[in-house]
Amino acid sequence: MKYIQKIIYNKSQIKNILPHRDPFLFIDEINELGEDYIIGTKHVNEDEYYFKGHFPGAPVMPGVLQLETMAQAGGVLILSTVENPQDYLTYFLKIDNAKFKKKVVPNEKIIFHLKLISPIRRGLCHMHGKGYVNEKIVVEADLLAQILRK
């Protein structure tokens, strides 16, 4: 999986789409956005707050936060389909088939690829996502989300 990185949305621009804020905004960049897919990046910095306790002396990014970051990239995909995305929220209803293939440690970069499994209907979005570090899958899952007006 060769990938030429460009930035469509930086973290500031993502804040115009997603309601998340620090310390819970994890996705750093959106690199590609199509009608049925999105690619986003998380820079795993050594000063992330969760590394203090997960685990001292052997820091690992928690799997649940990898899934949350994937979900945030998916949220950008979903909200890109509506006018005035700031007037909507996405709620994840289900996560299936989550797999963690390799630990993620400080100073790595996770590139998330999410693709729609089926078209968005009645505000429901079903996606399959994978996260890659150095072109190797570290996490994958199927996500079901709902978009609702605030």
pLDDT digits (tens, 9 = 90+) for 57-98: 999 999 999 999 999 999 999 999 999 998 999 999 999 999
Q: How far apart are CA 136 and CA 95, in angstroms?
A: 21
DSSP 52: G
Q: What is the pLDDT of residues 46-64, one digit of tens each?
A: 999 999 999 999 999 999 9
Q: CB of 110 within 8 A of CB of 138?
A: yes
Q: How far apart are CA 23 and CA 65, in angstroms?
A: 12
**What does the block give as tokens for 131?**
């996260």
Give the residue carrying structure tokens 């999410």. 114
Tell me the CATH class for 11-149: alpha beta
Task: Please report which confidence band the pLDDT of residue 45 belongs to, taking 50, 70 and 90 as the band edges.
Answer: very high
Domain residue extents for the chain: 11-149
Q: Which residues are catalytic?
A: 54
112 sits in which H/E element: strand 109-116
